[in-house]
């Protein structure tokens, strides 16, 4: 029997990490990248969670992100790398002699190398009442959950501290519906990052959003009743009501464990350039450390520390020499950048640009021909460039005169230079993503490695995966590296209030069964409390389309012309357009119009291009009475002012014309009576021409019918407006009934798929005629189902001309849910 030779796997060194936060896990990532098999790793975390991005707690509080969206390393990362995660059981003490750590539960873990990454502790102002229920800090997810629970009840919030964290907490609570007061000790908000001018602009913006800002305000006491906070009192006697008080007055390095182990500590745990403490087998990294006398509370230095630490643990020569930091505020709609020293002095010169009308302020501080500080407010596009020049201490004397106008101008390109040129000129080690510490070179390497879209870059190297403020830089690098035409760019978001696209919103309304606008905004993490003039009408339309009969039309979310069923004119009066079916009228209707013109002293009546009469000069206060008079004559709104069916234009057809092949007028009236009141993503026009001479101009309408000897040609996607577009031929049918069925099905497909304010022409070009045909014709029953959904929804969409209330609404919706479910649900 032959003896078998056994090759033993070398025993790996034991690396224990105290801290499951951003610094600790990033250090582990860096070690794994260099030598994945070197260490057997155990990570202790105080929270019972995987590693998440603490920088993004502010967007979670504001409702812009969920916890799942800010997770950096899920459980699969720990499992795939053989890492033992001990969550919710923080380390209680370190035994340096035995080289073990002992957790709160009594777990003893030996180590060969120990990494302390305990971060920082919030500074609690030593004033009476700081231990009351309702006084909370802002450091972890539990703090966010506490604030969210308070915000659900509404009321008043006081944030003590007008620095980065404090303002982000105030923003989140304000978006959650609380009345927020910020109390700041210093005269200027974010005084460590902003000068007085930029601080003033920031204060103006925040006050404009409804927050109360108290500067030069020292908190004296926090008042409570029965152990629960009720308000604060300032040194000057001012009292402010509060249901919750957020302490955001600063942080201090968490050095308790290190001091207990007799490691050298000053303000922080003292480390050398390799992140090694006074014990050669114990390292420290992140906010808990002090390096060359400096402690850092921003993320970029942490990443630089982690790289040096990983080099040391894998025996690669390197060293950390300290960091120059920059700051951005994560409050939606506020562009703010700060870097370096802007205190100025005798040896410094300030280069300043102000644009008051646009709310832009730029200040660059120069000393000995080099940038030493920069403050940007309102336009931060050149922040990375200034920061790169500052870090590298480059001489800017040659571009001194153009420096304040930005990189494109300073490099000789002028104001109209290629916007990507500035990014192209950045050095490879220039920081692109501060949240995740990703350089330009790493992003380019990622793109060249196959990440050819924004989402691919985010998932590969994490650039732009957190706060998103560097998205434009990443997109520029994609364009520079791949060429403009090669970039797989994603669709634009619905508006600035959300990160979702129109398609996302429509899909999620159905998937999550969201049935009112506030619910949509809450579930989909809107960044504004009430939306904007772009998203509210769109949401109102999408909900109407998704839940006919269940969703109640929100009048406030309609454009004023739609609400009033009249078109406002430049002199403040309104024009009124009653509907004339297929362009036909009668003596009764003409008399009613004439009576209205005389009764309300309308100065002009005009025949429109859509074969109707437009009554001009009606006062707003007379509109209800005007419509009441027109209603009495049987006339309804022509919706010449709505995102709806406008007109069905016809020619006289075979009834009168010697060239007419079919009864185009009769068919046009039938189609209009079938489709009127149909709210749409945009205005919608139909025409029926009685022969190929096309007198009704059917081939430049959203849906056009051209009558021929053998039946009817159906055309779609035309536009006679600013950008004229001829229709595409959809199909030919033989009967009026088929023409009407296809019209209803096409409209319903457009309703259920198009983006709000997207006409059929750009929708068709975006989706493609082949896609539209496939949706209508691949399934023999699809036309019937779409038309049935259209007809049933019309019971709820046809509206009274003045009040906007559903006319003849039926209550049997739930028995027909399968019939009317929108296309997205059908295709799910």
Average pLDDT over residues 507-511: 88
pLDDT bucket at 409, cuts 50 / 70 / 90: low
Q: Are residue 108 and residue 128 in the same domain, yes or no?
A: no
Model confidence at 759: pLDDT above 70: yes
Burial class (CB in 10 A: 0-12, 13-18, 19+), 768: exposed
Model confidence at 678: pLDDT above 50: yes
In a domain, 180, yes or no: yes
Of 12-16, 341-345, 439-443, 505-509, the poorest mean pLDDT is in: 341-345
Of 319-328, 627-636, 769-778, the poorest mean pLDDT is in: 319-328
In a domain, 578, yes or no: yes
Contact (Cβ atoms closer than 8 angstroms) between residue 279 and residue 265: no
Average pLDDT over residues 106-121: 96
* Residue among 475, 543, 565 nearest 801 (CA): 565
pLDDT bucket at 818, cuts 50 / 70 / 90: very low
Phi and psi torsions of 206, nearest 5°:
-65, -40
- How far is Cα 436 from Cα 375, in angstroms, rounded to an integer? 22
Please state the pTM of the whole predicted model. Answer: 0.57
Report the CATH number that the domain containing residue 26 is assigned in CATH.
3.50.50.60
Of 35-44, 766-775, 792-801, the poorest mean pLDDT is in: 792-801
According to the model, what pLDDT value does residue 820 have?
34
Q: Are residue 702 and residue 797 in the same domain, yes or no?
A: yes
pLDDT bucket at 603, cuts 50 / 70 / 90: very high
Model confidence at 828: pLDDT above 50: no
pLDDT bucket at 189, cuts 50 / 70 / 90: very high
**What tens digit of pLDDT does each residue of 622-631 get?**
888 888 888 8
In a domain, 378, yes or no: no
- How far is Cα 129 from Cα 451, in angstroms, rounded to an integer? 53
According to the model, what pLDDT value does residue 744 have?
94
Q: Are residue 41 and residue 87 in the same domain, yes or no?
A: yes
Average pLDDT, the chain: 85
pLDDT bucket at 404, cuts 50 / 70 / 90: confident
**What tens digit of pLDDT does each residue of 212-241 get?**
999 999 999 999 999 999 999 999 999 999
According to the model, what pLDDT value does residue 804 have?
36
Q: Are residue 524 and residue 446 in the same domain, yes or no?
A: no
Instruction: Identify the residue whose tokens are 């199909």.
Output: 731
**Total domains in the fold of the chain:** 6
Q: Are residue 450 and residue 581 in the same domain, yes or no?
A: no
Contacts by residues 715-721 (CB-CB < 8 Å, ≥ 24 positions apart): 716/746, 716/760, 716/764, 716/772, 717/760, 717/761, 717/763, 717/764, 717/765, 717/769, 718/760, 718/761, 719/759, 719/760, 719/761, 720/685
Burial class (CB in 10 A: 0-12, 13-18, 19+), 621: exposed
According to the model, what pLDDT value does residue 421 have?
66
Q: Are residue 620 and residue 767 in the same domain, yes or no?
A: no
The Cβ-side half-sphere exposure at 640, using a 13 Å CA radius, reads: 22
Encoding tokens for residue 443?
A: 């992003």
In a domain, 84, yes or no: yes
Average pLDDT over residues 59-63: 87
Most confident of 295-304, 684-693, 816-825: 684-693
Q: Are residue 484 and residue 507 in the same domain, yes or no?
A: no
- How far is Cα 474 from Cα 471, in angstroms, rounded to an integer? 5
The share of the chain scoring above pLDDT 90, in percent, equals 46
- How far is Cα 44 from Cα 420, in angstroms, rounded to an integer? 44
Instruction: Give SS3 for 656.
Output: coil
Average pLDDT over residues 700-715: 94
Model confidence at 418: pLDDT above 60: no
Helix (H) or strand (E) holding 682: none
In a domain, 722, yes or no: yes
Sign of the alpha-carbon dihedral angle for 303, 304, 306, 310? positive
Residue 145 domain boundaries? 124-249
The CA radius of gyration of the chain, in Å to the nearest whole number, is 33
Q: Are residue 479 and residue 522 in the same domain, yes or no?
A: no
Model confidence at 15: pLDDT above 70: yes
Q: Please give the span between the terminal C-alpha atoms of the chain, in angstroms, as a whole number.
A: 64
Encoding tokens for residue 127?
A: 């004033």
User: Of 557, 585, 602, which residue constitutes the final position of a domain?
Assistant: 557
Of 3-7, 46-50, 380-384, 584-588, the poorest mean pLDDT is in: 3-7
Average pLDDT over residues 347-374: 86
Residue 500 CA: distances (Å) to CA of 146, 160, 490: 27, 33, 11
Encoding tokens for residue 37?
A: 């098999």
As separate numbers, helices (DSSP H) first and strands (DSSP E) second, the chain gives 28, 38
Q: Are residue 668 and residue 816 in the same domain, yes or no?
A: yes
Annotated binding site for [4Fe-4S] cluster: 651, 657, 691, 695
* Residue among 641, 640, 639, 626 nearest 592 (CA): 626
Q: Are residue 183 and residue 201 in the same domain, yes or no?
A: yes
Average pLDDT over residues 740-751: 95
pLDDT bucket at 19, cuts 50 / 70 / 90: very high
Instruction: Identify the residue whose tokens are 């942080």.
Output: 251
pLDDT bucket at 10, cuts 50 / 70 / 90: low
- How far is Cα 673 from Cα 101, in angstroms, rounded to an integer? 80
Q: Are residue 140 and residue 200 in the same domain, yes or no?
A: yes
Helix (H) or strand (E) holding 593: helix 587-599
pLDDT bucket at 827, cuts 50 / 70 / 90: very low
Model confidence at 3: pLDDT above 80: no
Annotated binding site: 651, 657, 691, 695
Model confidence at 803: pLDDT above 70: no
Please work out, in degrees rounded to the nearest 5, the angle formed at the alpha carbon of residue 643 by the alpha carbons of 641 and 644.
95
**Is the model more confident about 611 or about 93?**
93
- Order of strands, edge to edge, in the sheet holding 282-284? 84-87, 39-45, 13-18, 113-116, 282-284
Of 99-113, 342-356, 451-465, 804-818, the poorest mean pLDDT is in: 804-818
Report the CATH number that the domain containing residue 677 is assigned in CATH.
3.30.413.10
User: Of 217, 249, 281, which residue constitutes the final position of a domain?
Assistant: 249
Model confidence at 717: pLDDT above 50: yes
Q: Are residue 552 and residue 564 in the same domain, yes or no?
A: no
- How far is Cα 474 from Cα 465, in angstroms, rounded to an integer? 11
Average pLDDT over residues 451-458: 79
Most confident of 12-16, 64-68, 518-522: 12-16
* Residue among 89, 106, 95 nearest 46 (CA): 89
Alpha-helix runs per DSSP H in 357-470: 383-392, 407-410, 419-424, 440-448, 454-461
**What tens digit of pLDDT does each residue of 361-390 get?**
889 999 999 999 999 888 887 888 888 888
Instruction: Give SS3 for 741.
Output: helix
In a domain, 708, yes or no: yes
Annotated binding site for siroheme: 695
In a domain, 807, yes or no: yes
In a domain, 68, yes or no: yes
User: Of 632, 661, 685, which residue constitutes the final position of a domain?
Assistant: 632
Report the CATH number that the domain containing residue 445 is assigned in CATH.
1.10.10.1100
Average pLDDT over residues 64-89: 92
According to the model, what pLDDT value does residue 417 have?
43
């Amino acid at each position: 029997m032959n003896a078998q030779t056994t090759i033993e796997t070398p025993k790996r060194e034991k690396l224990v990490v105290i801290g499951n936060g951003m610094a600790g896990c990033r250090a582990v990532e860096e070690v794994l990248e260099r030598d994945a098999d070197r260490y057997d790793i155990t990570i202790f975390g105080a929270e019972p969670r995987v590693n998440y991005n603490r920088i993004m707690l502010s967007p979670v509080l504001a409702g812009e992100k969920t916890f799942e969206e800010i997770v950096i390393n899920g459980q699969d990362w720990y499992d795939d790398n053989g890492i033992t995660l001990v969550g919710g059981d923080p380390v209680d003490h370190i035994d340096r002699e035995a080289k073990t750590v002992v957790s709160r539960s009594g777990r003893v873990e030996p180590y060969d190398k120990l990494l302390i990454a305990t971060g920082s502790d919030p500074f609690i102002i030593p004033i009476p009442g700081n231990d009351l229920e309702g006084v909370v800090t802002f450091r972890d997810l539990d703090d966010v959950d506490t604030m969210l629970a308070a915000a659900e009840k509404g009321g008043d919030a006081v944030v003590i501290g007008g620095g980065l964290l404090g303002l982000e907490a105030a923003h989140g609570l304000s978006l959650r519906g609380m009345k927020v007061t910020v109390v700041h000790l210093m005269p200027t908000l974010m005084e460590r990052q902003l000068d007085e001018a930029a601080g003033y602009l920031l204060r103006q913006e925040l006050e404009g959003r409804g927050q109360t800002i108290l500067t030069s305000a020292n908190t004296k006491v926090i008042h409570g009743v029965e152990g629960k906070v009720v308000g604060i009192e300032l040194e000057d006697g001012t009292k402010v009501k509060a249901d919750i008080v957020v302490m955001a007055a600063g942080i201090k390095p968490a050095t308790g464990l290190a001091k207990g182990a007799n490691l050298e500590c000053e303000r922080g745990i003292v480390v050398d350039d390799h992140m090694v403490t006074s014990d050669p087998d114990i390292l420290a990294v992140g906010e808990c450390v002090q390096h060359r006398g400096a402690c850092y509370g921003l993320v970029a230095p942490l990443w630089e520390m982690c790289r040096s630490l990983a080099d040391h643990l894998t025996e690669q020569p390197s060293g950390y020499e300290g960091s120059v930091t920059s700051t951005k505020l994560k409050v939606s709609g506020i562009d703010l950048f700060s870097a370096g020293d802007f205190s100025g002095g005798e040896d410094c010169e300030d280069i300043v640009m102000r644009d008051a009308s646009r709310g832009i302020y730029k200040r660059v501080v120069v000393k000995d021909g080099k940038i030493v500080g920069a403050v940007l407010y309102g336009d931060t596009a050149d922040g990375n460039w200034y920061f790169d020049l500052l870090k590298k201490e480059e001489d800017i004397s040659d571009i001194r005169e153009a420096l304040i106008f930005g990189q494109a101008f300073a490099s000789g390109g002028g104001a109209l230079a290629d916007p990507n040129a500035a990014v192209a000129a950045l050095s490879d080690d220039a920081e692109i993503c501060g949240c995740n510490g990703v350089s330009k070179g790493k992003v380019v390497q990622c793109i060249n490695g196959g990440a050819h879209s924004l989402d691919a870059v985010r998932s590969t190297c994490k650039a732009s995966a957190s706060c998103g403020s560097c998205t434009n830089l990443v997109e520029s690098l994609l364009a520079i590296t791949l060429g403009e035409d090669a970039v797989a760019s994603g669709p634009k978001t619905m508006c600035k209030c959300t990160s979702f696209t129109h398609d996302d919103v429509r899909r999620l309304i159905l998937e999550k069964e969201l049935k009112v606008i506030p619910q949509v905004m809450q579930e989909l993490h809107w960044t504004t409390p009430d939306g904007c003039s772009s998203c509210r009408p769109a949401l109102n339309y999408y909900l109407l389309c998704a839940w006919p009969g269940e969703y109640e039309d929100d009048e406030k979310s309609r454009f004023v012309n739609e609400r009033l069923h009249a078109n406002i004119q430049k002199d403040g009066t309104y024009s009124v357009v009653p509907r004339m079916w297929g362009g036909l009228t009668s003596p009764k209707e003409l008399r009613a119009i004439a009576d209205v013109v005389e009764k309300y002293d309308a100065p002009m009546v005009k025949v429109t291009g859509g074969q109707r009469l437009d009554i001009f000069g009606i006062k707003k206060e007379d509109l209800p009475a005007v419509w009441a008079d027109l209603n009495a004559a049987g006339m309804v709104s022509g919706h010449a002012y709505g995102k709806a069916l406008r007109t069905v234009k016809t020619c006289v057809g075979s009834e009168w014309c010697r060239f007419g092949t079919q009864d185009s007028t009769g068919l046009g009236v039938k189609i209009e009576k079938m489709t009127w009141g149909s709210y749409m993503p945009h205005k919608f026009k139909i025409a029926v021409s009685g022969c190929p001479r096309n007198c009704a101009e059917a081939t430049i309408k959203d849906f056009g019918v051209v009558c021929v000897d053998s039946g009817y040609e159906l055309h779609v996607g035309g536009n006679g407006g600013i950008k004229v577009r001829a229709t595409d031929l959809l199909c030919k049918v033989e009967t009026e009934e088929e023409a009407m069925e296809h019209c209803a099905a096409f409209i319903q497909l457009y309703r259920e798929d198009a983006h709000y304010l997207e006409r059929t022409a750009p929708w068709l070009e975006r989706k493609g005629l082949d896609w539209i045909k496939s949706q209508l014709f691949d399934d023999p029953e699809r036309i019937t189902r779409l038309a049935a959904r259209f007809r049933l929804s019309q019971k709820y969409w046809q509206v009274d001309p003045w009040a906007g209330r559903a006319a003849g609404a039926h209550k049997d919706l739930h028995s027909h849910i399968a019939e009317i479910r929108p296309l997205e649900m059908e295709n799910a």
